[in-house]
Structure 1
């Protein structure tokens, strides 16, 4: 763990199945952009630019209010990644039901991101396949494109805003590594009792951190940013 201002950077090296070429990934989630925190975003940007990852992954909940989306996208566009940048929708985006999927795909593309909504991105024979899922709360998650890769011999990395949707899949193939956010680590943690509220239907089971499914799929739940 590396302290960066009021952020805590967590680094981990993983040994995953089907890896053909090692790569680095940086996960950001639950940015909840507000226009009144320029210094905080400056520090975060400097941290990311100090050591660009191969892949920059954004796990959804871009803004606090839709009117802040443009500012948030402009900031995201300044962040470097050696190979590519990927995003999925969070509940903040998917609750805006008058904006369709094409709006989000096109908007993210304009700022250098590929927005995956129930779809895969094959990055090439040496790279991973990324699968991005629609939001669990207000969207319509569809795992079928991911399930089809269960015996492909490729490394599949799943990005889903809400960890609940991963738990709901029981024993179905959900990828080799699943990354999500949404819970904010419970935001408030009490001694012994833990988080009184997590925004998860599973309570404190998926607050944050690393989890291993029965099928040996590894998942990580970000506490945010």
Structure 2
């Protein structure tokens, strides 16, 4: 999630303090217990989807944050859940690292074993810590890494165009560069760590599905307070789940790990199990 200044931190602390005083936040000891990921199914009706891709299965993992605040068992369970879905494609939407280059060893140890073709983008923590190292660790597992570019992967006998946009928070997102040369009429799948990238995508006025992460689903998700904090302080209006922005279908994954406090409230770890369906013309 975003790296806040002192003033922003105090605002967030005040909101969460109020929630704690009201009894809305459970005791830290119980909230901090490691949890296995939920597997959340979601279906996207995609205009212009190739008929061969009707029913295509995509598993999404995001914000694994290997390191001391994310149990290794949680990371490996997420990978097992993704494989159990028997996906045609796996996508990784950033923030594999947390705070130290020493975590690259954990990336190499923990993130392997995805059995389907896998495509990834980087997140803000990866950029802050070591973008080349993070990309190298992913490529070492045979995963493709995109930044402001696209690729075409043949699945079920037809090409699927996948766009990878650079991280929004670190100002590496260049949507125009990412889609340059993309065939007209294609309904691409877009990977973007930051959900706000979808605001730029909508101006392209073409159907697409954008899978993102970054917010951890609010992580400490208190009704009214968390959305208010994210919208007013973090400037992040897209917290979790589905949003429709013009022709763009945005999905915000709650992530697997934690990079700050080791507490999740009403924001359990998530492996997204997405199915693409061809939308028939009106």
- Structure 1 segments, 4+ long, off by >4 Å, are none
2:66 maps to what in 1?
33
Gaps of 5+ in 2: 1-34, 257-282
Deviation at 1:119, TM superposition (A): 0.7
Please say which of residues 71-80 and 113-122 is displaced more in the overlay: 71-80
1:178 aligns with 2:213: no
2-structure distance, mates of 1:213, 1:42? 33
1:74 aligns with 2:106: no
Please say which of residues 53-62 and 122-131 is displaced more in the overlay: 122-131
Deviation at 1:138, TM superposition (A): 1.7
Structure 1 residues 132 and 40: alpha-carbon distance in aligned structure 2, compared to 1, 3 A threshold: same
2:119 maps to what in 1?
86
RMSD value over aligned CA atoms?
A: 2.6
1-structure distance, mates of 2:97, 2:122? 11
**1:47 aligned to 37, 61, 81, which one?**
81
- TM-score normalised by length of structure 1: 0.82
Gaps of 5+ in 1: none
Which structure would you say has the larger Rg?
A: 2
1:221 aligns with 2:252: yes
Q: Which protein has the bigger strand share?
A: 2
Please say which of residues 111-120 and 192-201 is displaced more in the overlay: 192-201
1:60 maps to what in 2?
94
What SS class does the counterpart of residue 230 from structure 2 fall into?
Answer: coil
Q: Tell me the matched-pair count.
A: 214
Please say which of residues 39-48 and 110-119 is displaced more in the overlay: 39-48
CA deviations 1:150-170 (Å, max 9, x no partner) are 761222111000011222455
- What pairs with 1:199-214 in structure 2 (closer than 5 Å)? 201-203=234-236, 205-214=237-246
- What pairs with 1:75-114 in structure 2 (closer than 5 Å)? 75-81=110-116, 84-96=117-129, 99=130, 104-114=134-144
Using CA pairs under 8 Å that are at least 6 residues apart, name the structure with larger relative contact order, 1 or 2: 2
Please say which of residues 166-175 and 129-138 is displaced more in the overlay: 166-175
2-structure distance, mates of 1:174, 1:105? 29
